[in-house]
Every structure is written in C-alpha cells, then in structure tokens.
Chain A
C-alpha cells in the first residue's frame, strides 16, 4: 500500500542555517504530495503541496519539488528562524483519497 518515509528526528539547527528534511514515498501511480506543519500547541496545517511530477510547492520560504525519478519530496529552506521550530509531516494522497502521513520530524531552531 501507499506509504511515506521521513528523515528521522529530532533535527536541531542554529538560526539562519540551511534546512533539508527528506521524504520519500511509495504509491500506486502518481500521488499528490504534501508537507504539513504542527507548531507547538496548534493543530496540523498545510504548509505546501505539489500535485504532479516536477511541480514545486512553496510557502513561507519553504520549498519542495516533486521528483518522480527518485520518488522524493524533500523539504528545504535556505535560512531557518526560531519561529520555524515545529513538527513537520510529509504526506501523500492518490486520487483525492485519504492522506497517508509520515512519522513526523521534530525541528528545533536555536537562536
């Protein structure tokens, strides 16, 4: 069945560092891909998405590119801030069916 594998955390970086959180997926066909973020004390919220190969999703300085050849959707940000500290979830969905989430990666940014 469909699955998503994320880079294990926790990840700790200094402010202004470059961030990569890896995500790979298995799915039938070509799923839509998502990154959700969960800030402390808040609900999950959609960060960005890509619906077809080579699409790039972007939001709040974060980017992820749908790579069909490597079945990946790695999350990147060029310069992280303390306010980016959160748990990040990669997810996929095929044919507008249910979301399948990865296990989450906890990110902590130190000033």
Chain B
C-alpha cells in the first residue's frame, strides 16, 4: 500500500513570496490533515478535511494560508505572502473515516523562508 505522498520535499523562498505544497493521501482515506512543525516543537494542526469539506481550520492563519481539497483526494496548502516565521516542516496526514486517532503521515515538506 502506497503511503502519503508530499511534494516538494524542500523549498527555499524569500519573504513575501508565495509557495504551495501538494499532498496525495492514502487511497480510501477520506480525512486529510495539514500540520506545521516548527523546529524543536511538535506538529500543530493547521487544517482538517473530511472529503472536500473543512472540519477544523481554527489554527490556520487565514490572512496568508489557504488550503483546498477540491475533489476529495489530493490537497494543496498555499502560503501567500510568506514570513520568516513560516519556516517549518509542513506535514500531511490521512486517516480512514471514523478512525482519526490513527493517522498516517507523509515525509513532509521542509520550508525555509529567507
């Protein structure tokens, strides 16, 4: 079974630029999550999708971050414009419906904002 795929693996941008990350969850996993993991901290949930609907985006900085999952499968997370403090690893995870306690994580995208 293929795992959660993410791309790119690494990205370096300058502040005020835009960046987008892509995630392909495990087949059949209706629930998809985006986390932000700042160096030295645990992952923090940014947004959770159930199919193509948003379940929880309470910690998403909506003035600069956006995410979509138009067809209920792949998802993109965008930052526009980026700030220095956005430097982090962005993790995507997925789970089966009703099994949110068991999440499968992708390898992450490491973002550096200069």
Residues of A within 8 A of B (CB): 4, 32, 34, 36, 41-46, 49, 51, 89, 91, 93, 96-99, 101-104
Contacts and interface: CB of A to CB of B under 8 A. Distances in A.
Contacts of B108: 43
A62 B65 CA distance: 38
15 contacts: A4-B42, A32-B101, A42-B107, A43-B91, A43-B105, A46-B102, A91-B42, A96-B100, A96-B101, A97-B100, A98-B56, A99-B43, A99-B103, A103-B42, A104-B40
Interface of B: prevailing SS: loop
A93 B101 contact: yes
A12 B105 CA distance: 26
Interface size range on B against A: 20 to 34
Interface of B: 3-4, 33, 40-45, 48, 56, 91, 93, 98, 100-108
A36 B43 CA distance: 11
